[in-house]
Amino acid sequence: MDTDNAPVPAGPRDVPPPAAPPPPPWQSVQPWQRITVGTPGPEFEALPPGEYAYDVPDTECDGWSTGELAMRFASVRGAKHRYYRQPRQDAARAAVHAASGSVVFAVADGVSSASEAEQGAVAACRAAVERMLDLLDGAGGRVDLRDVACRAADRLGELTRWRLGGKDPEFSEVAGLYATTLVAGVVRPHPEGPVVEVCRVGDSGAWALDRASGRYQQLFPTKTGTDVLLVSSTVTPLPHVPDPLEQTGRRLSPGEVLLVGTDGFADPLGDGDGQVGSLFAAHLARPLPPLWLAHLLDFSRETFDDDRTLLAVWPSAPGGRR
Q: Which stretch binds another protein (CB under 8 A): 22-30, 108-116, 127-135, 290-298?
A: 108-116
Q: Where are the alpha helices (DSSP H) in the chain?
A: 79-83, 117-137, 145-163, 171-178, 263-269, 275-283, 290-297
- Nearer to another protein by Cβ, of 253 and 275: the residue is 275
Q: Which stretch binds another protein (CB under 8 A): 53-61, 64-72, 148-156, 262-270?
A: 262-270
Confirm if 59 and 294 have CB atoms less than 8 A apart: yes
Q: Which stretch binds another protein (CB under 8 A): 11-19, 130-138, 286-294, 298-306?
A: 298-306
Write the binding mask 14 to 43 for another protein: x where contact by CB under 8 A, - elsewhere: ------------------------xx-xx-
- Nearer to another protein by Cβ, of 100 and 275: the residue is 275
Confirm if 58 and 82 have CB atoms less than 8 A apart: yes
Q: Which of 202, 239, 261, 315 binds another protein (CB under 8 A)?
A: 202
Whole-number minimum distance, CB 181 to another protein, in Å? 5
115 binds another protein (CB under 8 A): no
- Nearer to another protein by Cβ, of 116 and 203: the residue is 203
In sequence order, the β-bridge partners of residue 79 are none
Of 36, 80, 75, nearest to 58 by C-alpha is 75
Cis peptide before 221 (omega within 30 of 0): no
Confirm if 306 and 263 have CB atoms less than 8 A apart: yes
Q: Which of 75, 119, 181, 247 binds another protein (CB under 8 A)?
A: 181
- Nearer to another protein by Cβ, of 162 and 232: the residue is 232
CA end-to-end span of the chain:
80
Q: Which stretch binds another protein (CB under 8 A): 98-106, 161-169, 206-214, 259-267?
A: 259-267
DSSP per-residue codes, 136-164:
HHSGGG---HHHHHHHHHHHHHHHHHHHT
Confirm if 279 and 304 have CB atoms less than 8 A apart: no
Whole-number minimum distance, CB 234 to another protein, in Å? 9
56 binds another protein (CB under 8 A): no
Instruction: Enumerate long-range contacts of 78-84, CB under 8 Å, 24 or more apart.
Output: 78/264, 78/305, 78/306, 78/307, 78/308, 79/41, 79/42, 79/300, 79/305, 80/305, 80/306, 81/49, 81/307, 82/44, 82/46, 82/47, 82/58, 83/42, 83/44, 83/46, 83/47, 83/305, 84/47
Of 253, 295, 301, 250, nearest to 275 by C-alpha is 301
172 binds another protein (CB under 8 A): no
Please provide the size of the chain in residues: 322
Q: Which of 53, 74, 79, 199 binds another protein (CB under 8 A)?
A: 79
111 binds another protein (CB under 8 A): yes
Whole-number minimum distance, CB 174 to another protein, in Å? 15
224 binds another protein (CB under 8 A): yes
Q: Which of 40, 221, 242, 274 binds another protein (CB under 8 A)?
A: 274
- Nearer to another protein by Cβ, of 73 and 216: the residue is 216
Which residues within the stretch 203-222 sit at the binding site for another protein (CB under 8 A)? Answer: 203-204
**# of chain residues touching another protein (CB under 8 A):** 47
- Nearer to another protein by Cβ, of 20 and 229: the residue is 229
State the Cα–Cα distance between residues 201 and 148, nearest whole angstrom: 11
Summarize as ranges the residues that interact with another protein (CB under 8 A): 38-39, 41-42, 79-80, 83-84, 89, 109-113, 179-181, 202-204, 224, 226, 228-231, 233, 235, 237, 262-263, 267-277, 302-306
